[in-house]
Structure 1
Amino acid sequence: MKTLKKSTIFLALISVGMSAQDTIMPLWPKSIPNQHQSNEEEVISKSDDGILWVTNVQKPTLEVYLPSKRNMTGQAVVIFPGGGYYGLAYDWEGTDIAKALTANGIAGIVVKYRLPRSKSITEGKNVVPLQDAQRAIRLVRSKSEKWNIASNKIGIMGFSAGGHLASTLGTHYSESVYEKQDEADDLSARPDFMALIYPVITLGAPSTHTGSRTSLLGEKPTNDEVDYLSNEKHVNKDTPPTFLLHAMDDDAVPVENSIMFFDALREHNVPTTMHVYPTGGHGFSLALKDKKLKGWIDLFFDWMANLD
């Protein structure tokens, strides 16, 4: 038994040594805004199809994956997993994506962000995910020298509801939504680029994802609340260059979400690329088992390589 424990410790140390660059760090150094302590507990579970789900997030974090220094491009992508603002598909649309990025020399940083349904959130439930998103990119920017990342090459990627959060950050990055906690909060929260993968964009009928809207705004939101987070309405000339990906047969988040955002970006002369596949449905992540879809990540890498 003692030998088994020693072996386990030894293997753990090897594992830590091999992943010394992979770090989990708290998002907020002091108090977490709009939150109070409650008896609610964070839940980590696996779905029937094996996806690691996180619900009731209490302490938002960054999980950082860095490629070896010699392979680094200097680019970084901050990743927002989806889950309808009810949970986070944490490996499927988070850590799996980060690992794919690091294999191509790009830092991948997964955000475990708070969800509006949490009983620990005291006020401003609709703005809490944006607080975490703004803080996440500022914190990454503050660590750019330490992590060998170029401070002007930090983008974001979001999936489904995480795509809504990413597009919210890309269109509301300049708004003050929390009190400064440290020097990182003096830095810009503007992403240098965005990748929105089968994203929720609008909260308006008929094209929204009803579950995401209800989780974020409740059952009976006002028109102003809906308009504020219908992000196709907030694009301007300073919105970051955007990569959009969707499937035409997505019956959860209609493809019109990406089309509306593309049209708004084009109207304001924001560089954008959109790929719409005829099939694929929703929530396909890397789509490694789909012959037609599995190459989408390579299209994204090519797009990143040609950013100005």
Structure 2
Amino acid sequence: MNNKKLFLFGILLLGCTLVNGQDTIMPLWPEGKIPNSIASDEREKRIINGIVRVSSVQEPVIEVYLPSRSNATGEAMLIFPGGGYGILAYDWEGTDIAKFLNGKGMAGIVVKYRLPSDTSQKNKHEVPLIDAQRAMRLVRKHAARFNLDAQRIGILGFSAGGHLAATLGTRFGDTVYAPLDDVDKESARPDFMALGYPVITFGSQTHQGSKKNLIGKDPSQKMVALYSNEKNVTPQTPPTFLFHAGDDEAVPVENSLVFYAALQDKGVAATLFVYPKGGHGFSLALKDPFLKEWSDQMVQWIRNLK
């Protein structure tokens, strides 16, 4: 086979991979139409030091990991990595989680969302939710392409990513950007959500770094209430699975407790696992024989949802 034929074969093979959706990267927004963005010299950074840390995201995307069609259940989870709204722990709480879900027959879709920035954004506190809503709508729009059930698309967030997931789960109906295209006709409501050691409240038990990065150093009480997700639960909030370690010193377990109580109060189905030890940011916890069970417990919970 000559070089030209080899090149054409490579292009054809790449096209097949993209059609099948395996490890496909899709931009959230049409080129030049990213809401709340300001032209600046800020550029995305990626640092690898034990884990992959991504910061200063300028062009948000979804990274789609699919199981083989023969194993696929049709279920999917959008994954929001944590990092205090300052970075994204992109593999630790993102792509590693997606690959785990693939092993359970589920699609794992990592959302590389924009982090709040005074340099490249206006109304920075709205930006993560804007990207989260768009990501859910985009995945639902392309459900058939990715062999998904459009009514079985959930979300999974860790730490500050858990705050973003809970914000989406409670405020999916808020208008935070002007519709751009047919994607924005889709619902942004997750069908279910899982929150790992999440930041929930911006009250006394909050993670101060996440709060400051999202809504500033001296926010108004109105802004604090708007982003204290336990105050925004409604009967339409999706069924929720929570897991947290009781000895978490970064994000106190009270965050999960107060959200669980709010869900119960509104009649929303909720499950809460509080592990005695584990600290903060344990991801899949594969080296802990007890803590690592959270992931299988979550999958079983999803399968039992009506």
Normalising to structure 2: TM-score of the pair?
0.93
Q: What letter matches 1:240 in structure 2?
A: P
Q: What letter matches 2:86 in structure 1?
A: Y
Deviation by residue 1:70-125 (Cα, 9 ceiling, x = unmatched): 1111100000000000000000000000000011100000000001135211x111
Deviates most, 109-118 or 260-269 = 109-118
C-alpha separation in 2, matches of 1:154 and 1:220: 36
Secondary structure in 1 matching 2:74: coil
**Are 1:86 and 1:117, in contact at CA under 8 Å, matched by a contact in 2?**
no
Task: Find the counterpart in structure 1 of residue 26 from structure 2.
Answer: 25
C-alpha separation in 1, matches of 2:21 and 2:275: 38
Structure 1 residue 17 displacement after superposition: 5.5
**Are 1:57 and 1:118, in contact at CA under 8 Å, matched by a contact in 2?**
no
Secondary structure in 1 matching 2:109: strand
Q: What letter matches 1:84 in structure 2?
A: G
Task: Find the counterpart in structure 1 of residue 43 from structure 2.
Answer: 41
Structure 1 residue 181 displacement after superposition: 1.2
Aligned counterparts, 1:147-186, within 5 A: 147-186=146-185
C-alpha separation in 2, matches of 1:213 and 1:142: 32
Deviation by residue 1:32-61 (Cα, 9 ceiling, x = unmatched): 1000221111000013xx110000001000
Say how many residue pairs are matched.
294
Q: What letter matches 1:76 in structure 2?
A: A
Secondary structure in 2 matching 1:295: helix
Task: Find the counterpart in structure 1 of residue 198 from structure 2.
Answer: 199
C-alpha separation in 2, matches of 1:102 and 1:303: 17
Could you tell me which runs of 5 or more consecutive residues in structure 2 were left unpaired when the two chains were aligned: 1-5
Moved over 3 A (4+): 16-20
Structure 1 residue 281 displacement after superposition: 0.2
Q: What letter matches 2:140 in structure 1?
A: R
Counterpart selection for 2:250 from 224, 249, 252: 252
Identity of aligned residues (%): 58
C-alpha separation in 1, matches of 2:194 and 2:118: 27
**Are 2:21 and 2:146, in contact at CA under 8 Å, matched by a contact in 1?**
no
C-alpha separation in 2, matches of 1:240 and 1:204: 23
Secondary structure in 1 matching 2:125: coil
C-alpha separation in 1, matches of 2:263 and 2:241: 11
Could you tell me which runs of 5 or more consecutive residues in structure 1 were left unpaired when the two chains were aligned: 1-5
C-alpha RMSD over aligned residues: 1.7
Aligned counterparts, 1:180-259, within 5 A: 180-205=179-204, 207-259=205-257
Counterpart selection for 1:288 from 261, 265, 286: 286
Structure 1 residue 20 displacement after superposition: 5.8
C-alpha separation in 1, matches of 2:248 and 2:258: 15
